[in-house]
Structure 1
Amino acid sequence: MQFTHNPLRARKYILACAAVTLTLFAASTTSASDAPQVKLGQEALVGTSSPGLSKFMGIRYAQAPTGDLRWKPPVPAAATTGTVDATKPGPGCPQGKSPWGMPSSNEDCLFLNVTVPHDGTGMKFWQRKPVMVFFHGGGFTGGSGDVYNADNLASESGVIVVTVNYRLGALGFLAHPALDAEDHAVGNYGLLDQLQSLRWVHDNIAAFGGDPDNVTIFGESAGAIGIYAHLVSPMATGLFQKAIIQSGAPADETLETAEDQGKTLAEKVGCPAEANSAAADCLRKAPVGKLVSAEATPIAVIIDGKLLTRPIADSLKAGEYNRVPVVNGTNHDEGNLIAAFMFDLSGEPLVAGGYDEALQGIGSFIARVGFSNAAIPAIKKAYPLSRYKTPGLAAAQVITDGVIACPAYETSRIMAKYSSTFEYEMADTDAPSIVAPPISFPYRAGHFSELQYLFDLSSITIKGTPDMTNAQIALGKQMRAYWTNFARTGNPSGKGVPVWPEFQQARSEPVQSLNKPQSRSVGNFAKEHQCGFWETVERK
């Protein structure tokens, strides 16, 4: 079975535009010195402008998920009248301290930001610009959309970029028998938020000059896991037409497993584990701080029976997913940053005597792409400490190859059978480390490092980080062109950039190496990352 795309052409598009047509002529960007305005019904959003850009931040796309709405699917934002200040981002969702965003305890956090390129003619629904919607990473426990400044991504190629906040951690991904007995979709509240943001985009983006029938979703790390979920979810059908998966794996867990974790969390915050209204009431009254500090679950989404009906990998293998064009890729040294946070930045560098224990932790790091303790002897043989300068680098390579690179590569092989697929590896091993200080080994092209080539991440860049070289600046412009070409046409290749061949399922190649001085197609990805070995490892 293939999900239909429900393109919503002609009549539906005209009806969607009709609601805003009467007001667009009076409410659009005027000049660089005037605040840009967009009118949605009786609500006028007032944003900010800079040469070639209008920005609207802190736009509410759902009601505050507080009180009785905590652990409920998002409720669309209520219609309002009058002028609404859209010059500042809304608060991030509740989270602790992390490199990816600011700590927050504010549950009223379901906001998005829209960056619109323009040429001085304003924002008109007939412009039909491509739309890119970004879901941030951060392990489903940290981050916010406003961190990702999309000015260059939007202005260089004329695409509209939307960045989104969604519920995180215990407030976004909690399964508990008391909550799951209620009559609503359960567990994946953060993913339900993402879907609601896409509905908002479909209903409103024409007012900004965007095309609701040309939406590309993209996400990194946990955000990429969310993209996998939307690809296979029947609830997402028709809400997007293309997808970009950055440094993610199809990671999911059963509702039963998630409920066991939820019961443990409930007990930590002083609530019952039983499936009764008292337990649900207790959880909804629990302080945000307690919930944030108590969360500790694997990075995975939940097979809840509605948003996800079975394992992501099973749906992809059967071809039962939203068959849209896909870009899928990883970074050359994904594990280096992750190993840094696991070891060096959590206390001490990994030593040889701790290699077995480290592998045990890595095996349970991400659901579905982990491995059992029984596989550790074979992994140690394939990744002997003697081959690496430090034990930390050995562990990092296991993460790179076994947890991220090869699972993503194998998934591309599967999807290429059914839909256009383009595979990449960001391979600039001189990439600046912007969120972590120096450690016992180099970060190289680590996890998260590709995002600085797509977005301005100065708000979270640590002091003292070296500026990009001219060659890296050029690589960033090239990568942004690939991403926006794909959003526009479904193919990353285009004028002014090296050709990026489509991934061939039969040959499992080529992979586009994104690197300076010039990106190119390579055929040694699987060999370099020992993907043949990882095909033999039993996954959790």
Structure 2
Amino acid sequence: MKKSILSLASVSTAALMLLCLSAPVKADDPCVAVGGGSLCGSSDKGVQSYKGIQYAQASLWNSSVITSSYQAKTPATDYGAPCPQGQSAETLSDCLFLNIWTPAEPGAPADKTVMVFIHGGAFVFGSGGQQGQNNPYDGSNFAADQNVVLVTLNYRLGAAGFLYDPNIDALQKNGGNFGIEDQINALKWVRANIGAFGGDASKVTIFGESAGAMSVGLHMFSSEASSGLFRGAIMESNPIGVIYRDFSEASADSVTFLQCLNAVIDNPKATQCGTLATAPKLPETAAGGDTLLAATKLYEKVLKSSGRVRRDGLPEALPFAPVIEPNSYLAAQPAEAVEGKAPVPYMYTFNKSEGVLFAELAAQKWTGKFALPLIYSMLIGDMFATSDEILDNEKYRKHPESLERTIDSMGSLITDFAFACGNMKANQTANSDSVWGFVVLQQPVVPSTPPVDACAPANKAGNVCHEAELPFVFNNLPNGAGPNDIKLAKNMNKVWATFAMDPAGGPGTEWARWKAGHTGLNAFAEPAISPVPDIYGTSQCDFWKNQEPRVNP
């Protein structure tokens, strides 16, 4: 029997009670009073961790509702289920969890700085924590070494998190930005409850990587609903130079997706999307999260036959992403707003070879010596009105005779336009004293996701690819890391926390402020590199000033 698509995702009181009874609480587990009950975590080497805390409940394509009460001695020792992604989606209604690491004992004063991390994953995969010993976002070192409270969180992804259509009432309140609204509700939960964990709710800094950094940029520059929930921000590897979908483009996407969803509901083994003879509407029935993922796979097949798939490494290529429209839930394009004054002090960082990973993945997708050069040329035409000027630039020229040289050109374009120059547009009209910019020059210590040789540790090209900074930021290095990597990880972990403790004062007097005139870029490398390379010049940022992207390619 098919279930209602709305009632399917509701969380009953009985289900919550089962969650609370899922693991016994030990006598020596630390417990804190929250929401009329208590949450009981675990303690190790002076750090108390509380995992899998359900901060909100949600039904499909409805706003999440913040959890306000808990049973006594609710277990909080294991990460909660991630939001649906990629494979099984049994957790469609039960994935809005957060995790906390704190140096504070239960009952300690609520005076510690709070850092809230938003994970990346192209808005379609990832979570704030994963089972096992290799969670890259484990906050133990932040809590133990920097004396801060570290929070990570899940949010809805893919179609469940980012579907908009003007003809569907349920999608109007937040412009289809359910995933961003979930993040806001997590921040509201933190504001209401972090004191129980020793955190000061007035001292919150948000930070994120990739799609998480994009989210941070949206909270700063686009979301009125986020105002007052944090006092500082850090963006790691935000492709802030590109333009998000608006209502028009998102609406076209939703029609296509709903065609695919209806086809899967009618036939779970459908291989083609259907048609919508009338205005799109949400189907009345569905089989659950697995149906949603099956529809997503069909939808991605449709995208492969369109120009969208050519834009690898850019937000327009994402099957689902936030939606921006003036005078709506997310009202401003960060690519434009970043030039002016931000509402809070912030840091931005990017890695010197951000685009290499995306170019290498595109090369795997478009096999054949001549396929990628052709696709690359079409991508430039899709993205820029000045495509001829870009392709005439030696650094970004297509090379029909060489797949390798085309990969180099594509990687350079994505790095320079989307990441380096996009971020270095920051603060150019405001000239505020509250922005700090960094480039990461240290080679990676872990493989990229997914692994590619050009981004591997000790790669021959010296590439520092997308997400390579994460083990250093969290000071979660693999076994066998060298002394220079260990020293840099301790330093970066401290820089992030020092900024969070006093965003207006910044990460320390040894770090220059990013100013109008493109001065003050700092570099992370060990041993230190001095002077810092002219990244603004080598990224040809003056050239990119005149290459504005198409708003709706």
Is TM (by shorter chain) over 0.5? yes
Q: Which amino acid aligns with 1:34?
A: D
Q: Please identify, of 299-308 and 51-60, the stretch whose mean Cα deviation from structure 2 is larger.
A: 299-308
Closer, same or farther: CA 269–154 of 1 in aligned 2, 3 Å: same
Name 1:44's counterpart in structure 2. 38
Name 2:375's counterpart in structure 1. 357
Closer, same or farther: CA 406–375 of 1 in aligned 2, 3 Å: farther
Q: Give the alignment partner of residue 512 of structure 2, picking from 494, 501, 513.
A: 501
Is 2:204 the counterpart of 1:215? yes
Name 1:439's counterpart in structure 2. 453
Contact 1:512 1:521 in 2 (8 A): no
Q: Secondary structure at the match of 2:152?
A: strand
Name 2:330's counterpart in structure 1. 308
Contact 1:130 1:159 in 2 (8 A): yes
Displacement, 1:285? 6.4
Name 1:339's counterpart in structure 2. 359
Name 2:49's counterpart in structure 1. 55
Is 2:436 the counterpart of 1:453? no
Is 2:163 the counterpart of 1:174? yes
Provide the rounded CA distance (Å) in 1 between the counterparts of 2:370 and 2:479.
Answer: 32
Q: Which amino acid aligns with 1:222?
A: A
What CA deviation, in whole Å up to 9, does each residue of 1:418-456 have, x standing for no partner? 450000001113544243445367472100100011236
Name 1:281's counterpart in structure 2. 284
In structure 1, runs of 5+ residues without a counterpart are: 1-31, 98-102, 365-369, 459-464
Q: Secondary structure at the match of 2:168?
A: helix
Provide the rounded CA distance (Å) in 1 between the counterparts of 2:38 and 2:324.
Answer: 39
Is 2:543 the counterpart of 1:533? yes
Q: Please identify, of 465-474 and 103-112, the stretch whose mean Cα deviation from structure 2 is larger.
A: 465-474
Closer, same or farther: CA 75–277 of 1 in aligned 2, 3 Å: farther
Provide the rounded CA distance (Å) in 2 between the counterparts of 1:221 and 1:112.
Answer: 19
Q: Which amino acid aligns with 1:476?
A: A
Contact 1:137 1:219 in 2 (8 A): yes
Provide the rounded CA distance (Å) in 1 between the counterparts of 2:141 and 2:126.
Answer: 21
Closer, same or farther: CA 510–359 of 1 in aligned 2, 3 Å: farther
Q: Which amino acid aligns with 2:45?
A: P
Contact 1:129 1:158 in 2 (8 A): yes
Contact 2:496 2:507 in 1 (8 A): no
Provide the rounded CA distance (Å) in 2 between the counterparts of 1:472 and 1:313.
Answer: 33
Q: Which amino acid aligns with 2:511?
A: W
Is 2:103 the counterpart of 1:92? no
Q: Give the alignment partner of residue 515 of structure 1, picking from 496, 507, 525.
A: 525
Name 1:4's counterpart in structure 2. none
Q: Which amino acid aligns with 1:306?
A: S
Displacement, 1:342? 1.9
Closer, same or farther: CA 35–466 of 1 in aligned 2, 3 Å: closer
Provide the rounded CA distance (Å) in 1 between the counterparts of 2:476 and 2:392.
Answer: 36
Displacement, 1:394? 2.4
Displacement, 1:142? 0.7
Name 2:260's counterpart in structure 1. 268
Q: Percent identity?
A: 29
Provide the rounded CA distance (Å) in 2 between the counterparts of 1:456 and 1:401.
Answer: 27
Name 2:416's counterpart in structure 1. 401
Q: Which amino acid aligns with 1:421?
A: V
What CA deviation, in whole Å up to 9, does each residue of 1:162-217 have, x standing for no partner? 00100011110111234346662231110000000000000000110001001000
Q: Give the alignment partner of residue 420 of structure 1, picking from 408, 416, 434.
A: 434
Displacement, 1:391? 3.0
Displacement, 1:521? 6.2
Name 2:103's counterpart in structure 1. 117
TM-score (norm 1): 0.80
Contact 2:356 2:454 in 1 (8 A): no
Provide the rounded CA distance (Å) in 2 between the counterparts of 1:456 and 1:53.
Answer: 15
Alignment of 1:99-114 (within 5 A): 104-107=89-92, 108-114=94-100
Closer, same or farther: CA 128–535 of 1 in aligned 2, 3 Å: same
Provide the rounded CA distance (Å) in 1 between the counterparts of 2:75 and 2:414.
Answer: 44
Closer, same or farther: CA 467–336 of 1 in aligned 2, 3 Å: farther
Alignment of 1:126-205 (within 5 A): 126-146=109-129, 147=135, 148-180=137-169, 184-205=173-194
Q: Please identify, of 47-56 and 123-132, the stretch whose mean Cα deviation from structure 2 is larger.
A: 123-132
Displacement, 1:49? 0.8
Provide the rounded CA distance (Å) in 1 between the counterparts of 2:278 and 2:69.
Answer: 35
Provide the rounded CA distance (Å) in 1 between the counterparts of 2:386 and 2:282.
Answer: 36
Closer, same or farther: CA 203–342 of 1 in aligned 2, 3 Å: same
Name 1:290's counterpart in structure 2. 294
Q: Give the alignment partner of residue 481 of structure 1, picking from 494, 499, 502.
A: 494
Provide the rounded CA distance (Å) in 1 between the counterparts of 2:296 and 2:371.
Answer: 33
Contact 1:134 1:164 in 2 (8 A): yes
Closer, same or farther: CA 376–92 of 1 in aligned 2, 3 Å: farther
Contact 1:57 1:86 in 2 (8 A): yes
Q: Which amino acid aligns with 2:144?
A: S
Provide the rounded CA distance (Å) in 2 between the counterparts of 1:363 and 1:78.
Answer: 50
Displacement, 1:314? 4.1
Provide the rounded CA distance (Å) in 2 between the counterparts of 1:419 and 1:43.
Answer: 44
Contact 2:110 2:198 in 1 (8 A): yes
Name 2:308's counterpart in structure 1. none
Name 2:72's counterpart in structure 1. 82
Q: Secondary structure at the match of 2:101?
A: strand
Closer, same or farther: CA 248–105 of 1 in aligned 2, 3 Å: farther
What CA deviation, in whole Å up to 9, does each residue of 1:254-305 have, x standing for no partner? 1111011011111112277588695353579672322442454634421254
Contact 2:207 2:236 in 1 (8 A): yes
Is 2:426 the counterpart of 1:411? yes
Name 1:6's counterpart in structure 2. none
Closer, same or farther: CA 177–290 of 1 in aligned 2, 3 Å: farther
Q: Which amino acid aligns with 2:512?
A: P
Provide the rounded CA distance (Å) in 2 between the counterparts of 1:275 and 1:312.
Answer: 35
Name 1:22's counterpart in structure 2. none
Displacement, 1:105? 4.2
Closer, same or farther: CA 199–440 of 1 in aligned 2, 3 Å: closer
Q: Secondary structure at the match of 1:339?
A: helix
Provide the rounded CA distance (Å) in 1 between the counterparts of 2:372 and 2:280.
Answer: 45
Contact 2:258 2:280 in 1 (8 A): no
Q: Secondary structure at the match of 1:114?
A: strand
What CA deviation, in whole Å up to 9, does each residue of 1:380-423 have, x standing for no partner? 53334689964322221111112211111113435x52450000
How many residues align? The count is: 477
Q: Please identify, of 80-89 and 51-60, the stretch whose mean Cα deviation from structure 2 is larger.
A: 80-89
Q: Which amino acid aligns with 1:357?
A: I
Provide the rounded CA distance (Å) in 2 between the counterparts of 1:434 and 1:82.
Answer: 42
